[in-house]
Chain A
């Protein structure tokens, strides 16, 4: 009697936003093996960035690697390009970059949380989280001029200034949002049925997190405190604006939710600090040089460590650009973490990974 069944999830599946294919081998509904196919979104951006686009255009192209963390991509690329150009950027630009990165993190984390809620079968919480999330989209729209593709960081600085009325509206909206967030935390933390679905589900132990080199909230929920903001200070002064690291120990879906929710508080604090202490100065510093040599750069995207490697050869076109997205590091762990869970929890687990396949396969 064959007791093992294959259940496919994806490429098109309602619980997935992106084309991504999992093949679960299950016993009844218990998963014993997972196979993943993550190469659906491979578009060839790396090659195009090294051949078709000039290095200044690349900053807009890498933004389209991922719509959720486009600001991280553009900032990371801008920084690596600045390293190649040996360019220093104004402090105001740095602060504005951090501001948008953190705003983006808020919207991305809220999206992820709502996705977890939806995939746990809690439609009302999805609606609630999405309702509360709208403010971050409006703020981003006001700051950058678009709801998702910000194109805010460009080589040498940022593209737009932060208007004072917008800065004020950010602070105002945060005042409204904070109690809403408290309420959300309360629901995610204590709702009984949600805890049935989330607690002890999809557990990644700290040992596994270290062994599999996991990054981002995924790792932090397992107790592995890996956060680029905590590790570098050279390009963006995170500590200065009040960054603190959030970790949890359980490593399950619930812990990931909690880490994300707490990080939203940290992001809000950072944003408030930035707005209150925004230095005056230029937005952009320019140079006519061409990229030369090789450089690497890391930045903390909402999903974890984003890594760029670039090599220039004194022409308009880069010789090599390597993008390592956070989800790319997490996929080996994701595939292992499904094992021994019910198929019923799969959507929630996928949601809690917050995968970004368009980053992964580019």
Chain B
């Protein structure tokens, strides 16, 4: 036993000397780490409890069809092309399409929208989709189809106008 005491004193001295001389700590983090054992974890139980989310979080874009004036300005400004309007070939009625999987949540459409409240950025983040939704290819097709439908409608309309011009009486 007579050896322990001088030994431990020596070691503690050595540690202190090191600490003073080289400005390095050897054991401080060690004991703090042990102390952490008795502290509450900083983890939030996320799926069970909600996390912090500001009220004005830039989440999904919500579209109110009743207010829309169909100016398509949002479609033009949207950088990734997450908004597209398709047009019914027969009656020319436009439909708004939006993909949260393309959207970059930049709020530019909301800022550009001339009609207050038509496009709103909700605080709700997007939800994951699965393979069945096949969001990418579906959206690519939808996008192409919508553009085509508009072209077709325009051509149709032109044809009708031309026809109307040709025989204005009918």
Contacts and interface: CB of A to CB of B under 8 A. Distances in A.
B77 interface: yes
Interface stretch (A53-61, A266-274, A298-306): A53-61
Nearest to A48: B79
B104 interface: yes
Contact of A191 (B24, B54, B107): B24
Interface string B81-123: 0000000000000000000000011111001000000000000
Nearest to A166: B54
- Please report whether the interface of chain A is mostly helix, strand, loop or mixed according to DSSP: helix
- Please report whether the interface of chain B is mostly helix, strand, loop or mixed according to DSSP: loop
15 contacts: A57-B77, A64-B104, A124-B33, A138-B52, A141-B52, A146-B105, A149-B104, A149-B105, A151-B105, A151-B106, A151-B107, A151-B108, A187-B29, A190-B25, A191-B29
Interface residues of B, number: 22
Given A57-B77, A60-B104, A124-B29, 8 more contacts: A60-B79, A60-B108, A141-B53, A141-B57, A145-B56, A151-B107, A159-B111, A191-B29
Given A187-B29, A192-B24, A57 B108 contact: yes
Interface of B: 23-26, 28-29, 33, 42, 52-54, 56-58, 77, 79, 104-108, 111
Interface of A: 53-54, 56-57, 60-61, 63-64, 124, 131, 138, 141-142, 144-146, 149, 151, 159-160, 186-187, 189-192, 195
Contact of B57 (A61, A64, A146, A151): A146
A192 B26 contact: yes
Contacts of B54: 141-142, 145
Nearest to A56: B77
Contacts of A149: 104-106
Contacts of B105: 146, 149, 151
A192 B25 contact: yes
Contacts of B58: 144-146, 151
Contact of B24 (A144, A151, A195): A195
A255 B28 CA distance: 22
Contacts of A145: 54, 56-58, 107
Of A124, A145, A195, chain B has the most CB atoms within 10 Å of the CB of A145
A254 to B, nearest CB: 11
A195 B28 CA distance: 14
Nearest to A187: B29
A319 B28 CA distance: 58
Contacts of B24: 190-192, 195
A124 B30 CA distance: 11
Of B52, B57, B58, chain A has the most CB atoms within 10 Å of the CB of B58
Contacts of A63: 106
Nearest to A137: B52
A151 B58 CA distance: 10
Nearest to A151: B106
Contacts of B57: 141, 145-146
Nearest to A196: B24
A296 B30 CA distance: 51
Contacts of A191: 24-25, 29
B82 to A, nearest CB: 12
Contacts of B25: 186, 190-192
Nearest to B24: A192
A187 B104 CA distance: 38
A124 B53 CA distance: 27
A323 B58 CA distance: 27
A148 to B, nearest CB: 11
Contacts of A141: 52-54, 57
